Chain A
Amino acid sequence: MRFRLSIALLFITQCLLSAIAFTASADNSRGIALQPIEPKTTTPVTQGVYRALIIGNNNYNDQDGLWKPLKTAVSDARAVKDLLESAYGFSDVKVLENATRRDVLQAFESLSQKVLPDDHVLVYYAGHGFMETDTNRGYWVPVDAKGRDNTTFLRNSTIRDELTTIASRAKHTLLISDSCFSGSLLRRGTRGAPDASNSEQYYKKVANKKSVQIMTAGGVEYVDDKYQSSDHSPFTYFLINELKNNDRPMLTLSELSTNVEKAVANNVDQVPESGVLQGAGDELGEFIFIKMDLVVDGVPADKVKVQVNVKQGDGAPANTLNTAPVRPVPDNKIRRKEILPVPTL
């Protein structure tokens, strides 16, 4: 017992001595000292809080048997949530699993009430979609939908209205819809090609302009529920893949959608689409994904000179991005933070 106490005391003493030595070295420049790098303060590229409403519907309970249960929508929603929170600094994320029509409308209402002017809002939907061929009306299908009774669906015009309300308050609004016929939500708008140099000026420019963008799993067509052996639909599989393997500190929706569209189209028989929600105040801005917690294989963490600070909570201060110098980017993967039990003998 005395031996263990001695060791514990020695450990604590050693820690204190090391901490003192470090403090002293910072004040005294003799010899080799560890110096914390002062973060260079640059103008924030984006401000405001990153918020998301994520909906995944698997458990359809349609008495008419028209809406069969889905396999991957809930796991799609969970994976998107985890990724946005862990890698892209989304601090306000609401997830609806197996949402009824009322659930979705209430969530839109709640979201629109708390959005602030500089905020970035992402809405993701995975579930059944429906289109009336005679009227060309598109719908999201909630889990309490009843057969072909379209009054139990969520009409595209309703979704657009909700997005328009949110967009009237937020800086950037993005809808990602992974459902059949989701392309019917979209009215294509032109969007300039990204600056080839990917300069900070370009990102600042598009960040300061309002955007209301939509990205859909397909056009006016059926889309697949499951991609190979994954727990995801093809669209969300490649969406997650692109976001995970993104090696840039900033990624615009246009850049993301270009890659996702290619990847999906090359692997399955569907073609994602993207564009703007017209009439909602889009000013050719861009929704920008800002990567946090970069882990670059083979590069020590202290050499990755990209720091993104996202303060939690409503009305929090801005995301601050320092990008000097540009970090080396070999094959980059996100390392999920694992919480492991203490291994003991």
Chain B
Amino acid sequence: MRNKIVFFSLLSTVFCMPNAFAEQSITLGVKLLGTGWEGDNGAVSSSFNSDEGGQLAFSASYLQDKFYAGISLQNGEYKFSGAAPDQFTPSSRISTSNVDIEHREIDLLVGYYFWQQVSLFADIKGVSNTWSNNDYKQNFGGLGFGASGYLALNNDWTGFGSIGFVGRGDIKDDNDVKVGDGTSSALEIGAIYRIDPNNTINLGMKFRNYRFEYLDNTKQDYSINALFFGYNHSFTL
């Protein structure tokens, strides 16, 4: 915990150091993700696959020269007519089916363009799932790292991508009691179309994998993959 605080404190100090000359801009974005949630509850239980689901994401980012910081909020719901992800509490495991699960994600990140078109970033990620049958809520959070980059394809199109992982995070129940550890990884690839110098649309694919290990040694894996379409507006400060 202390290391994380120190790390984040340092990043925010560097990021917030005013620079009278660097260009500063803010970008606001909205993104619609058509997604599927599939996975496996572990050796003794069944696999699951959502019937339908989707997420809506809002993001804001601040760019100052080569530094950037951003926040992204995603919210969506997944319907499972058959088996669904199991619920894990500190003392028990509850199998679920025919249930809706609300899935939320929050990302707080800072990054730096160490190269002209490639940046490295740190991301504090939080994920929460809420089961509709009993309102049980499970949270996963951790510090992750990633790299992102872009490549101008022509005057109108730019390709972009990012990859990263959360090496180790805590899984907790609704009462903030730890029920396990988890890791996650993400890969995103897409293209941006420039409408004008301040407005772009983007589309692409995002793959997220989660691997959770609970206190009873059950390993639960799932992935949430998506096709997305988004819009971004940027303005200079």
Q: Residues of A with Cβ closer than 8 Å to B? A: 1-4, 6-8, 10-11, 14-15, 18-19, 22, 34, 36-37, 75, 78-79, 82, 85-86, 231, 293, 301-302, 304, 335-345
Contacts and interface: CB of A to CB of B under 8 A. Distances in A.
A338 B192 CA distance: 9
A345 B107 contact: yes
B141 A3 contact: yes
Contacts of B17: 18, 22, 34
A342 B155 contact: no
Interface size grouping (class) on chain B: 35 or more
Closest 10 CB pairs of A and B: A343-B162, A36-B20, A18-B16, A302-B21, A343-B148, A342-B70, A14-B12, A344-B107, A342-B59, A15-B16
Interface in B98-157: 105-109, 111, 116, 119, 121, 123-126, 128, 139, 141, 144, 146, 148, 150, 152, 154-156
Contacts of A231: 154-155
B202 interface: yes
Contacts of A345: 107, 123, 125, 144, 146, 164-166, 184-186, 208
Nearest to A75: B155
Nearest to B160: A340
Chain B interface SS verdict (over half): strand
B148 A340 contact: yes
Nearest to A76: B155
Contacts, number: 147
Interface of B: 1, 4-5, 8-9, 12-13, 15-23, 25, 27, 29, 31, 59-61, 65, 70-72, 74, 105-109, 111, 116, 119, 121, 123-126, 128, 139, 141, 144, 146, 148, 150, 152, 154-156, 158, 160, 162, 164-166, 176, 184-186, 188, 190, 192, 194, 197-200, 202, 208, 230, 232-234
Given A85-B197, A337-B234, 6 more contacts: A18-B13, A19-B18, A341-B190, A342-B59, A343-B146, A345-B107
Given A11-B12, A15-B16, A344 B232 contact: no
B150 A338 contact: yes
Contacts of B234: 337, 339
B13 A341 contact: no
Given A4-B106, A7-B124, A10-B5, A15 B146 contact: no
Nearest to A12: B12
Nearest to A18: B16
